[in-house]
């Protein structure tokens, strides 16, 4: 439980912070896409006897870059590029897994997460990747911020909007890989989007939105884990359900504030 608590807190905070870019850029579908695509990397790593995170990370990053390339160079709509690449990669994982007659591990557990199985090495790896993503985000704060609101003006101002977009896709891919053990492939997109969407209901300032999103994510991660312990339920599902409840509370708070005539 101690390792699970640290992991859930790190994952929830990181996903919620990165989720602000996802919500502002209207990329909610991309989290689900990259997460599902990473399943192919997990299966390939299993077949080759390699580390699951390395396999998932390589495929997730390649898929993220592929989505950006197809969207920009192929002039394909972003949601179409996501749909084609993630379903293809996910199908590849299922195809490879279906050809194996026996399994020494249950690969399907990655679909729903198992945070209580996190070991000491997993925690160290998650901390290292989380720090790397946080450092890169802080370093590129201005570029990510301006290209999220107006990429055309950012490009005119001397920023490389295309390169920034590719870097953001890679950072999102790493964030998703960090989250797989906690909430699984199926639920990781919700953890990316829901806290940030809730924060978006409460403020129009970016820095405040990220702070509120991070706070709501931490509450969802820690609170959901404790609730799952007492309710004897899936930890990943409970974390996401709590985040969903907070989202609807944020909507209610927004309407209540508007009814009272407060800005």
What is the C-alpha separation between 151 and 174, in angstroms, rounded? 23
Expressed as residue numbers, the domain containing 160 is: 2-259
Inform me whether the pLDDT recorded for 43 exceeds 70. Answer: yes
Residue 64: what pLDDT? Answer: 87
Query: Is pLDDT at 109 greater than 70 in this prediction?
Result: no
Q: How far apart are CA 205 and CA 211, in angstroms?
A: 10
CB 35 within 8 A of CB 176: yes
Q: What is the pLDDT at residue 10?
A: 87
Residue 229 sits in a domain whose CATH number is: 1.10.3470.10
Residues 212-261: tens digit of each pLDDT:
999 999 999 889 988 988 898 888 889 889 999 999 999 998 888 777 76
Domain count for the chain: 1
Whether the predicted model's global pTM rises above the 0.75 cut: yes
On whether the CB atoms of residues 187 and 75 are closer than 8 A, the answer is: no
Q: What is the mean pLDDT of residues 58-83?
A: 86
CA atoms within a 13 Å half-sphere pointing along the CA-CB vector of 258: 9
pLDDT of amino acid 104: 55
pLDDT, tens only, 111-169? 767 777 778 887 888 888 888 888 998 898 888 888 887 777 777 777 888 888 888 88
């Amino acid at each position: 439980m101690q390792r699970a608590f640290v992991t859930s807190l790190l994952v929830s905070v990181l996903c919620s912070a990165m989720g602000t870019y996802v919500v502002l850029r209207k990329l909610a579908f991309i989290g689900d896409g990259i997460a599902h695509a990473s399943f192919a990397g997990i299966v390939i790593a299993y077949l080759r006897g390699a580390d699951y995170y390395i396999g998932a990370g390589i495929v997730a990053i390649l898929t993220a870059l592929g989505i950006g390339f197809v969207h920009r160079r192929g002039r394909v709509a972003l949601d179409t590029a996501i749909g084609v690449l993630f379903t293809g990669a996910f199908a590849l994982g299922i195809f490879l897994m279906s050809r194996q007659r026996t399994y020494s591990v249950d690969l399907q557990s990655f679909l729903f997460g198992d945070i209580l199985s996190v070991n000491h090495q997993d925690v160290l790896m998650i901390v290292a990747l989380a720090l790397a993503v946080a450092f890169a985000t802080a370093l590129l704060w201005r570029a990510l911020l301006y290209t999220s609101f107006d990429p055309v003006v950012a490009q005119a101002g001397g920023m490389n909007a295309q390169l920034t977009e590719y870097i953001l896709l890679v950072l999102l891919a790493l964030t998703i890989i960090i989250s797989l053990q906690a909430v699984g492939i199926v639920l990781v997109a919700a953890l990316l989007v829901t806290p940030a969407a809730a924060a978006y209901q409460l403020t129009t300032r970016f820095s405040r939105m990220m702070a509120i999103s991070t706070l709501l994510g931490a509450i969802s991660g820690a609170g959901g884990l404790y609730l799952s312990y007492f309710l004897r339920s899936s930890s990943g599902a409970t974390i996401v359900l709590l985040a969903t409840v907070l989202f609807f509370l944020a909507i209610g708070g927004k309407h209540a504030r508007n009814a009272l005539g407060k800005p």
